[in-house]
Each structure stands twice: as C-alpha cells, then as structure tokens.
Amino acid sequence: MSLMAASSPSLPIVVLPYPLILLPSAKVSIPVTKEQARFIISLLQDNQDASSQTVLGAVPILKSPTDDPKALFQLNRWGCAARVTRLVRPSALQPSQPFLVSLQGLSRFQLVEPLLVSHEDISGPIQYMNIEYPLNEMKQTPTKETVIEFKQAALRVLERLSRDAGSNASRKDGWRRLADLVENIDNGSTAASLADVLVAVINGEHADRIDYLSSPTPEERIVKATILFTKQATISEVSKKIESAVSESLSKQQKEYFLRQQLSAIQKELSSLHRSDGAKGVTSELDDDEQSDQDDMADLKKKIEAMREGSEERKMGTREWRRLKRIPQGSVENGVIRSYLEWLTSIPWPSSSLPLESIEAMKTRAYLINARAQLDSDHFGLEKIKRRLIEYLAVVRLKYLGAAAAAQSTSSTNEPSSSNPPRIINKAPILLFVGPPGVGKTSLGQSVAKALNRPFQRISLGGVRDEAEIRGHRRTYVASGPGAIVQALRKAGRPDPVLLLDEIDKVGHGSNHGDPAAALLEVLDPEQNHSFNDHYINVPIDLSQVLFICTSNTLDTISAPLLDRCEVIQLSGYTFTEKLHIAKRFLMPKQLSANGLREDQVILTDEAMEWVATRYTREAGVRSLERAIGGVVRAKAVEWAEFTDNASDNATTSQSTEGQGVKLLSDLTVTPTPNNWNPIVRKEDLEGILGIARYDGEERDREEKRGVVWGLVVMGMGEGAIMPVETIAVPGSGNLKLTGSLGDVIRESAELALSWVKTHAYVLHVTNAPGQDPLKTPDPIDVHLHLPAGAQKKDGPSAGIAMVCAFTSLLTGATVPTNIAMTGEVTLRGRVTPVGGIKEKVLGAHRARATKLILPYANQKDVELDVPKEVKAEMEFVFVKTIEEGLKAAFGRQLHWRKPGRVVESRL
C-alpha cells in the first residue's frame, strides 16, 4: 500500500473480507489480526480522553480473492467511514481465534487513488490512506417521482420479506416497522438515508451493492435502490415458488416413505406373532413377503440378463429395470413396471429359447408317417383334409430343411448346428378350416400341433370388437396388459407354437376402438409378422416361426384381404354312418374316461347308438352327439355309483353278522361281478335317459301341401339343411308379397320365378287362354311367399327352382312329395344354373331324411366327387338343365302339360 499525501484527509483503512460491504447506518463485525487489533486499541486509547470517535475506513474488495498468496486484488474506490464500537479478544481457551472488531457505518468516502492489495497487505498493519468525502451531498435532493417509485419498490420487497418470515414474529415485526418508516418518507433526503438502511439489510448481489455504495448522489442511490428492490422481490417470489414446489414433492415422498416403513414394520411384527402362534414349525413360503420379493427381483434380473445381447427386448428390459430400481417399492408405478417386466421376460423371444423339440420332430425320417398316424388317431374320415394337411406339413418340413442347409453352409465352424438351429421363416400358407360347428376344426388344429411336436394355443376371436384385445393396451392405460397373441405366446412358452385363431368370421370390423380385423392382417401376413407390434410390450415381436391356423363357420363375413391370406379347407359335416363310427371310436371312449368308467362298464348297442345319432341329433358336426353320449354315460355312472354303494352295504352287513366285527367301508374292496351289473344300454332305455326323441323317422311334420315345396339351404353356421318354401293365395290385385327376412337377390329370384310361371300358365293348364294373367283370372289374387325362420337373414339365388315349383303347385293344385328337396338358380329363359354348397346341402337333406334331390345338371360333378358313397346309395338325384325338367321331376304325372304345338314359347 502506498502512503497518503499529507494535504488531503486520511483514514486508517481496513479491508472488508469478500463479500462484505459496509453502508452508512449499517453495522458489521470483521476479524482482525492481533497486530491490527493492537493498532485499533492504541487508537481507542488515544481517543479515550477526548470526546472524539475512533473512525476507520472500511473498503470492500471488488472480486472474490483467489488462494494464490502472490495474487493482487483490486479494492473498491468507494468505502465507508465507520466508528469502532467494539473490539472482542479471542477467549483464553481458543487463543488461535482472531480478534473481532465491530464497526458502525457513518458516511461514504472515495480513495484518492485506486488500490491493489495482496493477502499479505490485508492481514498486515493498518495504514492511513488519502480519501475524499462527496461534496454537498444533501443539497442534491431527488425528484418526487423517484421517491414514489422507490417507496413502492421498497414496500413490495418488505411485504414479501415479512410474508417469508413465516412464524418468526420478531423478524416479521422488524420488517413491518421498516415498512412503516418507508410509508412515512416525505422528502428525498430521508429516502436516501432509508435506502442505505434497506440496501444494507436486504440481501442483494455483491456487484449491485458495490455499485450502490459507489453512487455519490442521493438521486442516483435511490434509483439504484429501486432497481435492486424490484429485482430482489422477483427473485424472492420465484425462489419461494421453487422452494414450495420442492418441499411439497419432498414431503409427499417422505410421507409415502414413512408410511411404507411403518407398514412393513407392522407386517413384520404380525408375521413374527403368527410364527410364534403356530410355533410347531409350520411356516409357509407365503409368510415371508420380503424374501419372496427379493427372490422375484433376482429372478427378473436373471431373466433380463438371459436375453440376447444387443436385442431390442434386452435394451427395453434394462431401461425399465433401471427405472424400477429408482422407484420406491410398493408404489403404484413400481407395480406397473414390475408387471411389465414380468411380461417382457416371459415372452419366448425367438433367439432366447430355441425350439429344439420341433426341430427334432422334423428331422426324423418317419415325420410324415407319424403325422398321418397322429391325424388318424385323432379323427375319423376327413380323407381329403388329412391329405391336404400332410401336404402342408411336408412343405413346412421342406422349408425348414432348406433353411437348415443354408444356415449350415454359412455358419461358423465353431458353433455346433444343434445349439444354434436355423430360424424357420414361415411362408407356408395360413390354413383356414371352414365348416359348421362340431366338425372337428379346432381338434384338427390340435392334431397338427401334436404332429409337429409343438405347443398348441387357441385364441378365440368370437365377439372381439376392440383392436386392443389383439394388440394390447398401451401402458399409459390403467390396468393395461398385452393382447391375445402375446398372452398365447407366453402360455405356449415357445416361439414356434401352433396358434389357432378360432371363429375368425366373428371378429368385429372397424369400430371406434380400432379395427381388430386389420390387426389380424398384420399378424397373418408373413411379410409383416416378423415384427409384430403389441402396444403394451412395445418391442417388435417376431411371429414368423408361429404356425397360424384359422377356423370359421362361414366365409361370408370374413374380410377379403384376410381371406386372401388364407388357404380355405372346407369341412362339410358328417353322414350318419360317419357319425356312428366317430361316436363308437372316439366319442364313447372320450366320455367314458371323462366320467371315470371303463369300457366294459357301459356298452351302447349298435341300434342304440344309431338311435342317438338319428333321433336325438341332426347337426352337421358331432358336438350334440357327443353331449347325448355324455348324457347316457353320466346316467350309467350314477347307476354304477348306486350299485357299488349297495354292494358294499351288503358286504358290511354280511360280515358283521358273521361276528367278525363291523369293518370300515374304506377297508372293503368291492368289485361287483359282471353277473350282477348290466352295462348294456338298449334303444328302449334311451327314452328314460335322454327323454323323448326330438326327431322321428317318418318326418310327420313334413306334410304334403299345395303351395309348399322343400328347398335346400346352407345355414349361417355353414350347416346344410332343408327349408320349406311356402306360398298362399289371398284375395288381392295380382301382387307378390315376400316375407321371411329376404335379401335383394332372393326377392328378385322370387319375382323371376313368378314371371316364369305366369308366362307358362296356359301350358300348365292354369289359364284357359294364352296371355291371361293367372293372378287376375278368374278372380284377382295376391300371392304371398314366405320362408320360415323369419328372424334369420336369407339371401342368394339358389331357391329359384323351389320357388317356381311352389308357385306352380299353388296355381295348379298339384303337390310335391315331402321326400323331395331341390336347389338351383333359374333364369328367365327357363335354364337351371349351378349353385354352391352342394355337399353341405346333400348331407343336410340326408340327415332330414329326404330321399330325392333335384339339382342343377352342372352340379353333377360335385355330387360324384364330394358326396360320400353311402349317402349316394340312399338317395336319388335328378340333375336338370331346364325348369320343365325340374317340374317334371318334382310333380311327376300330377302336372298336365298342353301339347307342344300349342305352347307359348318363352324362350328368347
């Protein structure tokens, strides 16, 4: 430090430690060295006698000093002259502590020269410096506006401070008193001195306060103080907000944490109580929650670690695992993440578990023979379908073997092929079994899985309206979970199961919950399904190794793109003979084992079995037949139970009478002999067991009536049947009335049929002159046509021939025998054109005991190829090309035709 010039006023200067600043009217205590303290004491002693004060100059440092002992720091040019109010020595116990000197700020001064000091100067002896006091300070009074602004800013900051003081009443009081003083400011000079007081007590930034100290004029100071207060009020507001937000969240977490701690302590206490109650060492793994929790977590971790390195699923697993560790145990979020991880790790990811079993099955030479044997052992008949399935399995195998060869040629030599088998890219067609209920569609799928040695899972799509049922809900949903595909994969436990998509025709289309059919498209498309996206799992899942088989009752409601991806296999239903075989070889043994009986305990005679098949059931499949057989077997099981009870009672009584004491019932092994148990169920017994037969052989309900003809139909479930076409004439004006939920095509076909009959009315002897309208002469009538089962929608052109016959019968009075049923589309030219579903219709008619069928000539091939021999043998088929031929086959001699020469030609 340089010494002062003798002419100007001077003050002994102390450097305020950073970041202290002393303002006039404020107080500060600073540490001083022993040497400096001695100097101050000498000053105090010098002034003891005189009434003058001991004054020092306190000057702040501009910037935070570094630790470097040689570094120089700039002192502020402005400082504050201060009265020494106190000097405190260190206590005798801690002599190393510094002295403390308390200073009371008096007025600003400016150092004549700027000063640089080192650490050594600061702690060195106190020296005098030349200073200047600002001149005429009090004369420059601030303007009114500045004072008003200053007052407002000061009051705002004081109010905030008093609010922040919370429950500290004395502090609050202090701020209020200051606010009162500010309120009472009436001139610029009081404002300036109050500004010093306020800036001294309000925490501001060091630079701002230095700047304030260095302002010589009151006006300047008030303006700067106003800015400082405004800034401070804003900072305080923001920091208060942050503070309260932080403390709120903290307190919530802490609260939860404490509650959970308490809960676990209570649980521990309770479990120890239980343990000491049931002291006899009966502990259950269910008791130790904490242990099982730890085990679960360890298990989860292991599973994530077992996932393929670098795979998407592993990355997701790791990410979620880290999140899980951060979230307090037992919280809702924790549970959500845990169950997600459990799902993620339980999916059989293609690379994590390799389907060795199915590979072994495919490698064996007898693979196809075994598959055929499997299909035969599960299903009777279905020759064509089994052949097609064997083709399918052969293709799957060839594809695998091809892929295996390709993989082997490219694989590295150090990897044995069995430990890393090739991935099968499943581009085999997706099979779609179509047919009526109970014909074995689902069970065929099961057989395919068994033949391939793969797990089988069934996904029922009936009534699925929401895309999320297939794809899962996003995790943001409450109680969300994965969709049916992922659930089935998890249950299967392998990446290559056979998944049966059951009732694909009943899946809902486009709703406000997405389109489930569209989700299925992605699942079934081999081009897309290697990265199937389940919304819940949110990691692409490879479904290319899954074999999909679909089932449906009808093709009508399946969307075209979905149908396009499938190869359709029709199952039309069984004949009575087939049903009998199925019943004997499959259904009976199945029901016996389901009811805990042996084969020799229930024997249905052939006649009784046939009776069940023909009189109690009439469906295309065998489900009701199985149910009926189940009913018989159950009735026999009850009889058997009663029989064994009686036998054991007798045994007990006879033993006790022999004087050997009464034995426990369980000690007795009662084996009733075949002599006294009757296992036979005869035709006559059925009524007592199953009730009255629903169908009788004669079909008495089918009355031969004018205007009624039996048509052949395929019902909504894909089942063939016969259905009456009923017509009556009512007084009217020559109109046609149609009822029975008829679609447009069937309505048009009815109009066409009536037109044909009208044109041929004269030839058929309905009218007496050509050109007369049979509905207007002799009396005007309306014709009403009805197809029963009105609740069921009907459409299609195949009832054309039956309608022509019905109108002809109505108008001529000739009737069609009830053993005759017919199908065929008609044209205006009088042609009978082919229709679909012949096999189903023929089988349906056979079940309904129709014996003569009139069919379009062009469908002859279908009958020859598709209809079983035994049905053909029992039925008469008339194949017709024209309506005349059809009418002749239906009515025979009953219908009279005018001679050809007088026929009005209807042909174009």
Ligand X SMILES: Nc1ncnc2c1ncn2[C@@H]1O[C@H](COP(=O)(O)OP(=O)(O)OP(=O)(O)O)[C@@H](O)[C@H]1O
| Shortest distance, position 548 Cβ to ligand X, whole Å | 16
Nearer to ligand X, 447 or 808 (CB): 447
Give yes or no for a contact between 278 and 286, defined as CB atoms under 8 angstroms apart.
no
Catalytic residue of the set 450, 579, 758, 841:
841
Measured CA to CA in angstroms, residue 690 lies from 591, 616, 631, 763 at distances of: 15, 8, 7, 53
- Euclidean distance between CA atoms 676 and 867, whole angstroms: 46
CA–CA gap between residue 573 and residue 620 (Å, rounded): 4
Strands (DSSP E) contained in 612-682 are 680-681
Task: Write down the least CB distance from residue 467 to ligand X, Å.
Answer: 23
Smallest distance from the beta carbon of 412 to ligand X, in angstroms? 46
Tell me which residues touch ligand X (CB under 6 A): 379-382, 437-443, 502, 551, 553, 582, 586, 621-623, 626
Please identify, using beta-carbon distances, which residue of 162 and 552 lies nearer to ligand X: 552
Consult the annotation and say whether 226 binds a ligand. Answer: no
Residue 435, marked binder? yes
Q: What is the largest CA-CA distance in the chain?
A: 165
Phi, psi of 680 (to 5 degrees): -75, 135
Q: Is 900 exposed, middle or buried (0-12, 13-18, 19+ CB in 10 A)?
A: exposed
Name which of 422 and 440 has its Cβ closer to ligand X: 440
CB closer to ligand X, 580 vs 746: 580
Shortest CB 587 distance to ligand X, Å: 7
Helix (H) or strand (E) holding 122: helix 119-123
Q: Is 740 annotated as a binding residue?
A: no
We find the least distance from the C-beta atom of residue 583 to ligand X, in angstroms, to be: 9
Q: For residues 129 and 10, is the Cβ–Cβ distance under 8 A?
A: yes
Strand partners, 57: 13, 81
Token pair for 876: 């008469």
Q: Which CB atom, from 229 or from 586, has the smaller least distance to ligand X?
A: 586
732 is in an annotated binding site: no
The helix or strand, by DSSP H or E, that contains position 318, with its residue range, turns out to be helix 312-326
- Report which residue's Cβ sits closest to ligand X: 440
How far apart are CB 597 and ligand X at their closest, in Å?
Answer: 18
What is the rounded CA–CA span in Å between residue 725 and residue 710? 6
Active site residue 10: no
Catalytic residue among 447, 552, 798, 809: 798
Residue 178: which of 192, 207, 157 has the closest Cα?
A: 157
Closest distance of CB 645 from ligand X, Å:
31
Beta bridge partners of 846: none
Helices (H), 379-479: 383-410, 441-452, 467-471
Q: SS3 for 725?
A: strand
Q: 416: cis peptide before it, omega within 30°?
A: no
Q: Measured on CA atoms in the order 191, 193, 194, 199, is the torsion positive or negative?
A: positive
In sequence order, what are the beta bridge partners of 15?
59
Residue 644 counted as an annotated binding residue: no
Distance CA 399, CA 393 (A): 10
Rounded distance between C-alpha atoms, residue 338 and residue 322, angstroms: 11
CB of 459 to ligand X, least distance (A): 12
Tell me how far apart the alpha carbons of residues 220 and 228 are, in angstroms, rounded to a whole number. 12
Q: Is 440 part of any known ligand binding site? A: yes
> Is 724 annotated in some ligand binding site?
no
Nearer to ligand X, 272 or 377 (CB): 377
Residue 848 CB, shortest distance to ligand X, in Å, is 21
Give the other-Cβ count within 10 Å of 361's Cβ: 18
Q: ∠ CA 66-70-71 to the nearest 5 degrees?
A: 40
Asked if 875 and 839 touch (Cβ cutoff 8 Å), the reply is no
Is 841 part of the annotated catalytic residue set? yes
Residue 131 vs 488, nearer CB to ligand X: 488
The span from the CA of 127 to the CA of 14, in Å, is 8
Does 437 belong to an annotated binding site? yes
Three-class secondary structure of residue 869 per DSSP: helix
Euclidean distance between CA atoms 486 and 550, whole angstroms? 17
The nearer residue to ligand X, 325 or 384, going by C-beta atoms, is 384
Give the residue ranges of the annotated binding site for ATP. Answer: 435-442
Residues taking part in catalysis: 798, 841
Give the residue ranges of the annotated binding site. Answer: 435-442
